[in-house]
C-alpha cells in the first residue's frame, strides 16, 4: 500500500530556521502517507502548524529533518515545471482579478504544458472543459470571475487545480468563506474528483463537522505539534478528536460527532417517543440544548412523551407541578421555562 | 453564454479582427502628425516628400529633421509607457501602478536636475565644458545614469526580499528621496536653469534628433520584444505570485525580467522625452475595458498600438494646429486623456466591471 502512496513522509520535522542558530520546531517525527483516490482533511486549532505542514509538504519550505516524498521521489528533486505537473494547489483567500473568465482561469492551469505564449491546443481546451465539468461549473465557462459568488469561484479554482493534471491536489482552507450547503458541495466535489479522476487530495480546514463526515483520513495536529492520523470514526471513538480541540467551554459530543455548546444543567428528563423517529432525535436535541440531561424513569424531573398520528405530532410533558400537551417544540420549551421555578 | 465574456480565446479573436482598424488609425494619425505643425506644409507637398520627390528646402528640413523624428518618438514612447504601465499593474496587482512606480523616472529626473543645476551652483563653465563632447545628449545621458542607478538599487534589494509590496514601497521612497534632492537643487539654482528644468518636466517628443532616434527605437523595440516574451508569466501573475509559482513559474527570474524591462522602457522614454505622465497608468485600463480582456496576449500588442496612437494624438493637440503655440505635453495627456478614460471605465460599470487589474 505504501508504494502506491502519492505523498508520504518519514521522520519529518517541520518548523522555521530563522537565523543559523534559532530553530523553531513546530512538529517532529511525522510519518504520513496519502494514497490515490483519498481525501485527507488536515485539521487543528489555530496556530498548531497546519500551514507550516502544508508548506513543507508542497516543497515551499524545506523540512528541518526527514524527507517528503511525492510519487516516490524526494520533493526537492523536482524541477518547478515537473512539480507543477505533479502537484497543484488551491490557496486560501480569494483571487482579485478583473476581466478574467472562468475559462481563462482554468486555462491558466495548463501553464506547465503550453508553449512560451501559453497557446492552448485542442487537447488543452478539452482538458479545461472537462475540468470545469468535473466540478459542475461547465455553465460558468464564459462568466467573469468578479461576477461570481464565492461558491462558484471556489469551484473554478478547484477546476484550475484539476486542469493542471496533478497527482496530488493541496487545498488550503477551501471551505473557509462558504456557507454550509456550499461547504458540503465543495467537499462532495473534492471526493468525486478524488474517486473519478484518481487524484490524492489534501485539504486543511477548520470545519470539523464536515471533515468528520467527508474525509477518508483525518490528520489532527494539536497545539503541542503532535499529529495523529486515522479514519475519522476511529479518532472519535478513541477520544483523540475531542481532546485535540478541547478548550474551555467547548466540548466534543462523541454521540453526535460534533462540537456542542455546553449549557447550564437545569434538570433531567425521560423521553418516550416512536423509536427511530426524527421527532425523537430533535426533541432530544432541544431538551439537551436548554440544559436537560437524559435520566432513568425514577430520578428524572420531567417526562416527555411524543405521540404522532397521520395529522400531527403532540408533545405531552409532565413534571411535579403539572402537565401539558404542546403542539410544537417551541411551546414545550416555553412551558418548561415558565414553570421551571415551580418544579424545584 | 458568450454574451457576457470572452470564452476560450474570444477576446484574442476580437482583437485580431479589430487589428486592421487599429493599425489603419495609427497610420492615419501618424500621417496627420506629419502634416500639421507651426509651419503649414500642404498635403501634396508632404506626399511628394514621402514618395521621394523634392520640394522647398525649408519644408524638406522641417519634415525630415523635425516632424519625422517627433512622430516616430511619440509612437515609440506612447507604446513603451503604456506597456511598462501594464507590466507594473500586473506585477504589483495594483490598478494605480504606473511606469514610474519603481522610482525609475525620479532617478532620471535627479540625474537631469544635477546636470542642469549644478551648472548654476558650481559654476557653469566647468561642468558644461566637461559635457561638451556629449552635446545635447548630456541630458539623456544624465537621465539614463539616474534611472540605471535606481534600477540597480531596486534589483539589489529585491534579490534579498520576497515580497513585491516591499519593492513597491521602496520605489516610492526612492521617488521621495530624489524629489527632495531635486527640490534642494532648485532652491540653490538660478532662474534660467530652473526654467530649463521645469520645461524638461513638461515632457516633449520633439527633442530627439536623427542621431538619437536609432538608439531610442532600438532600446524600446527590445522592451517590446521582452514584453512579448513575458505574456505567459504575466498571465499567470494575474492569480498572484503564489499561484504563478505553483504552476511552475520561476518567480525570482521573472521578477528581475519584468523590473528590468519596465525600467528600460520607462528610463529611455524619460531620458529622451522627459517624465511623461498619465499615458502609462491610463492606457492599460483603457485597453482592458475596450477589449474586455485581461489576457496579456491581447493587452501587450494593444497597449503598444493604442499607446502609440494616443501619444501621437496628444502631440498633435499640444502643438495647437494652425498656431505656433506649444502647450505642455503633460498637461495635454491628462486634460484630454482623462475624460476619455473616465468614459470608458464608467461605461464598463454598467456591466459591473469598473476598474480592475
Residues A195, A317: one domain? no
User: Of the residues A253, A275, A296, which one is the last residue of a structural domain?
Assistant: A253
A289 touches chain B (CB under 8 A): no
Higher pLDDT, A260 or A209: A209
Residue A278 is part of a domain; what is its CATH number?
3.40.50.800
Global ipTM: 0.82
| Mean pLDDT of the residues in chain A | 86
Burial class (CB in 10 A: 0-12, 13-18, 19+), B29: buried
User: Of the residues A226, A253, A280, which one is the last residue of a structural domain?
Assistant: A253
What are the tens digits of pLDDT across the range B275-308? Answer: 898 899 889 988 988 888 889 999 999 999 999 9
Q: Using CA atoms, how far apart are residues B189 and B171, in angstroms rounded to an integer?
A: 27
Distance in Å, alpha carbon of A150 to nearest chain B alpha carbon = 16
Residue B354 confidence class, pLDDT cut points 50, 70, 90: very low
Give whole-number Cα distances, B347 to A101, A143, B162, B281, B341, in Å: 19, 19, 38, 18, 10
Residue B60 confidence class, pLDDT cut points 50, 70, 90: confident
Higher pLDDT, A303 or A275: A303
A78 touches chain B (CB under 8 A): no
Check CB contact under 8 Å for B238 and A108. Answer: yes
| E strand map for A175-247 | 200-205, 217-221, 227-230
Q: Using CA atoms, how far apart are residues A77 and A127, in angstroms rounded to an integer?
A: 27
A296 touches chain B (CB under 8 A): no
Per the DSSP assignment, residues forming a β-bridge with A168 are A87, A200
Element (H, E) at B195: helix B191-202
Residues A248, A116: one domain? yes
Confidence (pTM):
0.86
Residues A217, A277: one domain? no
Residues A121, A236: one domain? yes
Beta pairing class for A168-172 and A200-205: parallel
Q: Let me know if residue A218 belongs to a domain.
A: yes
Q: Let me know if residue A201 belongs to a domain.
A: yes
Domain B10-349 has CATH 3.40.109.10: no
Residues A220, A289: one domain? no
Q: Let me know if residue A244 belongs to a domain.
A: yes
Q: Using CA atoms, how far apart are residues B177 and A268, in angstroms rounded to an integer?
A: 75
Residues A132, A232: one domain? yes
Q: Let me know if residue A110 belongs to a domain.
A: yes
User: Of the residues A253, A280, A306, which one is the last residue of a structural domain?
Assistant: A253
What are the tens digits of pLDDT across the range A138-179? Answer: 999 888 888 888 889 999 999 999 999 999 999 998 988 888
Residues A242, A182: one domain? yes
| E strand map for A246-334 | 251-253, 258-260, 267-272, 292-294, 302-308, 313-319, 322-326
Q: Let me know if residue A148 belongs to a domain.
A: yes
**Domain residue extents for chain B:** 10-349
Higher pLDDT, A118 or B231: B231
Instruction: Give the DSSP letter of residue B276.
Output: -
pLDDT of residue B283: 92
- Among chain A residues, the shortest Cα distance to B239 is held by A95
A118 touches chain B (CB under 8 A): yes
What is the percent of chain A where pLDDT is above 90? 30
Residues A95, A181: one domain? yes
Residues A187, A296: one domain? no
Q: Using CA atoms, how far apart are residues B275 and B84, in angstroms rounded to an integer?
A: 13
- Nearest beta carbon to residue B239 from set A108, A116, A147: A108
Residues A302, A182: one domain? no
What is the average per-residue pLDDT within A261-271? 84
Residues A178, A205: one domain? yes
Contacts of B249 (CB under 8 A, 6+ apart): A80, A111, B233, B236, B237
Residues A109, A230: one domain? yes
Q: Which of A54, A92, A99, A137 has the highest number of chain B CBs within 10 A, making it the mutation to test binding with B?
A: A99
Q: Is the pLDDT of residue B6 over 80?
A: no
SS3 helix, strand, coil % of chain A, rounded to 5? 35, 30, 35
Give how many domains chain A has, as a whole number.
2
What are the tens digits of pLDDT across the range A58-78? Answer: 888 888 888 899 998 999 899
Nearest Cα neighbor of A123 from A111, A133, A110 is A110
Q: Is the pLDDT of residue A215 over 70?
A: yes
A105 touches chain B (CB under 8 A): yes
Give Dmax (Cα) for chain B: 71
What is the average per-residue pLDDT within B164-168? 84
Give yes or no for a contact between B127 and B119, defined as CB atoms under 8 angstroms apart.
Answer: yes
What is the percent of chain A where pLDDT is above 70? 96
Which domain covers residue A116, as residue numbers? 37-56+79-253
Burial class (CB in 10 A: 0-12, 13-18, 19+), A61: middle
Residue A200 is part of a domain; what is its CATH number?
3.40.50.300
Amino acid at each position: 500500500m505504501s508504494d502506491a502512496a502519492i505523498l508520504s513522509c518519514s521522520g519529518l520535522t517541520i518548523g522555521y530556521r530563522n537565523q543559523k542558530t534559532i530553530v523553531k520546531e513546530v512538529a517532529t517525527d511525522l510519518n504520513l502517507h496519502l494514497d490515490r483516490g483519498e481525501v485527507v482533511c488536515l485539521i487543528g486549532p489555530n496556530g498548531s502548524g497546519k500551514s507550516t505542514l502544508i508548506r513543507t509538504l508542497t516543497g515551499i519550505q524545506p523540512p528541518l529533518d526527514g524527507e517528503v516524498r511525492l510519487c516516490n521521489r524526494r520533493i526537492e528533486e523536482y524541477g518547478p515545471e515537473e512539480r507543477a505537473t505533479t502537484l497543484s494547489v488551491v490557496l486560501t483567500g480569494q483571487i482579485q482579478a478583473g476581466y478574467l473568465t472562468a475559462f481563462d482561469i482554468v486555462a491558466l492551469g495548463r501553464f506547465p504544458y503550453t508553449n512560451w505564449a501559453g497557446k492552448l491546443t485542442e487537447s488543452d481546451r478539452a482538458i479545461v472543459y472537462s475540468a470545469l465539468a468535473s466540478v459542475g461549473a461547465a455553465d460558468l465557462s464564459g462568466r467573469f470571475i468578479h461576477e461570481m459568488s464565492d461558491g462558484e469561484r471556489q469551484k473554478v479554482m478547484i477546476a484550475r487545480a484539476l486542469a493542471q493534471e496533478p497527482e496530488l491536489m493541496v487545498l488550503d482552507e477551501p471551505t473557509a468563506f462558504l456557507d454550509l450547503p456550499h461547504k458540503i458541495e465543495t467537499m462532495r466535489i473534492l471526493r468525486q474528483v478524488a474517486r473519478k479522476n484518481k487524484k490524492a487530495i489534501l485539504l486543511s480546514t477548520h470545519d470539523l463537522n464536515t471533515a468528520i463526515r467527508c474525509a477518508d483520513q483525518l490528520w489532527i495536529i494539536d497545539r503541542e505539534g503532535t499529529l495523529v492520523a486515522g479514519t475519522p470514526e476511529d479518532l472519535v471513538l478513541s477520544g483523540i478528536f475531542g481532546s485535540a480541540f478541547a478548550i474551555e467551554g467547548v466540548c466534543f459530543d462523541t454521540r453526535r460527532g460534533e462540537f456542542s455548546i455546553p449549557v447550564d444543567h437545569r434538570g433531567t428528563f425521560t423521553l418516550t417517543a416512536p423509536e427511530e423517529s426524527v421527532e425523537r432525535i430533535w426533541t432530544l436535541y432541544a431538551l439537551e440544548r436548554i440544559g436537560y440531561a437524559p435520566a432513568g424513569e425514577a430520578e428524572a424531573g420531567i417526562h416527555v412523551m411524543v405521540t404522532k398520528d397521520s395529522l400531527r405530532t403532540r408533545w405531552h410533558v409532565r413534571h411535579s407541578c403539572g402537565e401539558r400537551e404542546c403542539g410544537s417544540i417551541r411551546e414545550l420549551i416555553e412551558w418548561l421555562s415558565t414553570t421551571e421555578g415551580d418544579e424545584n | 453564454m458568450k454574451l457576457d465574456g470572452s470564452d476560450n480565446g474570444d477576446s484574442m479573436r476580437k482583437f485580431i479582427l479589430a487589428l486592421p482598424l487599429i493599425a489603419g488609425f495609427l497610420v492615419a494619425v501618424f500621417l496627420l502628425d506629419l502634416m500639421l505643425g507651426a509651419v503649414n506644409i500642404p498635403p501634396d507637398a508632404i506626399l511628394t516628400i514621402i514618395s521621394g520627390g523634392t520640394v522647398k528646402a525649408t519644408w524638406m528640413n522641417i519634415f525630415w529633421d523635425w516632424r519625422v523624428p517627433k512622430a516616430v518618438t511619440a509612437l515609440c514612447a506612447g507604446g513603451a509607457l503604456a506597456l511598462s504601465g501594464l507590466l507594473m499593474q500586473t506585477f504589483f496587482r495594483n490598478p494605480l501602478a504606473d511606469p514610474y512606480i519603481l522610482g525609475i523616472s525620479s532617478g532620471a529626473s535627479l540625474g537631469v536636475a544635477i546636470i542642469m543645476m549644478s551648472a548654476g551652483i558650481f559654476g557653469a563653465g566647468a561642468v558644461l565644458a566637461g559635457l561638451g563632447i556629449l552635446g545635447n545628449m548630456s541630458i539623456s545621458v544624465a537621465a539614463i545614469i539616474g534611472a540605471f542607478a535606481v534600477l540597480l538599487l531596486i534589483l539589489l534589494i529585491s534579490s534579498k526580499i520576497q515580497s513585491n509590496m516591499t519593492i513597491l514601497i521602496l520605489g516610492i521612497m526612492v521617488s521621495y528621496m530624489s524629489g527632495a534632492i531635486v527640490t534642494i537643487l532648485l532652491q540653490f539654482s538660478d532662474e534660467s536653469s530652473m526654467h530649463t528644468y521645469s520645461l524638461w518636466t513638461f515632457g516633449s517628443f520633439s527633442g530627439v534628433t536623427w542621431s538619437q532616434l536609432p538608439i531610442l527605437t532600438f532600446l524600446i523595440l527590445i522592451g517590446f520584444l521582452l514584453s512579448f516574451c513575458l505574456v505567459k508569466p504575466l498571465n499567470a501573475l494575474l492569480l498572484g505570485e503564489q499561484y504563478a509559482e505553483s504552476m511552475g513559474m520561476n518567480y525570482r527570474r521573472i521578477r528581475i525580467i519584468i523590473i528590468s524591462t519596465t525600467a528600460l522602457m520607462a528610463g529611455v522614454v524619460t531620458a529622451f522625452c522627459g517624465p511623461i505622465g498619465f499615458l502609462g497608468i491610463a492606457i492599460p485600463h483603457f485597453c482592458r475595458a475596450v477589449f474586455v480582456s485581461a489576457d496579456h496576449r491581447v493587452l501587450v500588442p494593444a497597449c503598444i498600438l493604442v499607446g502609440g496612437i494616443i501619444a501621437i494624438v496628444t502631440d498633435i493637440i499640444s502643438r495647437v494646429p494652425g498656431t505656433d503655440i506649444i502647450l505642455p505635453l503633460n498637461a495635454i495627456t491628462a486634460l484630454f486623456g482623462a475624460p476619455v478614460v473616465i468614459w470608458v471605465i464608467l461605461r464598463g460599470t454598467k456591466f459591473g466591471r469598473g476598474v480592475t487589474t
